[in-house]
Chain A
Amino acid sequence: MKKMSSCKHATELMSQKQDRKLTFKEQSWLITHLTLCHNCRRCNKQFELLEKACEQRREEFEKS
């Protein structure tokens, strides 16, 4: 398991959770890190916002 202080690892998990289901261990690790880390909470929110934006845009692509 990665050191709890690794923001770099946290960003890897934040990214991968958009592409696959994280394991229970990874999820708990990430949640704990986010509780402790202000910068990563912000990054996580922004990643989620961009994911949502892209999803909305794909829906827009299908409309006419």
Chain B
Amino acid sequence: MPAEPCQNCSQTEFEQRIDPLRPRLIAFAKLHLKFEADAEDAVQECLISAWKQLEKFAGKSSLETWVFGILRHKLIDLYRHHSKIRTFEYNESKLPDTDGWFQKDEHWHNEHAPSNWSSPYQTLENEHFWQVFDICVFHLPEQTSRVFTLREFMGFETAQICESLHISEHNCWTILHRARLRLRACLEQNWFTAEENRQ
């Protein structure tokens, strides 16, 4: 999908274009920040900053990715300064259950075994793909979603995640394992084998 830079957009056009992205921005910020008002402020600041810098945006990525990236940068910064960040409580009973996907002998249950993904490689630059991807991620239980986004959206190493959230590496690996299993299944159902994406 070609990126549409929106450089000549009016403020209204810009807002209209970004409007569908807003729930994902809010969900992302709320996951990491202590107060809802801070999350809303962070998103607002991100959108103002994007609007002001719009002339500099050259369309090397999609507008949505670029705006999402501005918020990501802001959140990384807040983690660095330990500012406004939510405390984290590790609770294994609140992790998504994936044990039931395996049989007693630890083989996959047939209905949970991975299916073949049709034409997966062409889909990755598509904004619609990332919409579905983010919805899958933000629908994970909160602490799972939080650790996963730190790892895969922000690009933190697990050691940094452990330090920021005060959890052990073992806990971190457990959470990421469950997150990836769930995400794989969610994307399989809603993207890779979804009827409308079949060629």
The residues of A with any CB-CB pair to B shorter than 8 Å are 3, 5-9, 11-12, 14-16, 18-20, 39-40, 42-43, 46-47, 49-54, 56-58, 60-64
Contacts and interface: CB of A to CB of B under 8 A. Distances in A.
B35 interface: no
Contacts, number: 101
Interface string B142-163: 0000000001110101100000
A19 B172 contact: yes
Contacts of A9: 106
Contact of A64 (B66, B102, B107, B121): B66
A42 B124 contact: no
Nearest to B5: A64
If over half of A's interface residues share one DSSP class (helix, strand or loop), that class is named, otherwise mixed; here it is: helix
A46 B72 CA distance: 25
Interface residues on chain B, size class: 35 or more
Contacts of B120: 46, 49
A9 B105 CA distance: 11
Interface string B32-53: 0000000000000000000001
Interface string B119-133: 011001100001001
A20 B158 contact: yes
Contact of B106 (A8, A15, A46, A62): A8
Nearest to B116: A42
Given A46-B184, A50-B183, A60-B65, A39 B114 contact: yes
A63 B114 contact: no
A64 B68 CA distance: 12
Contacts of A20: 158, 169, 173
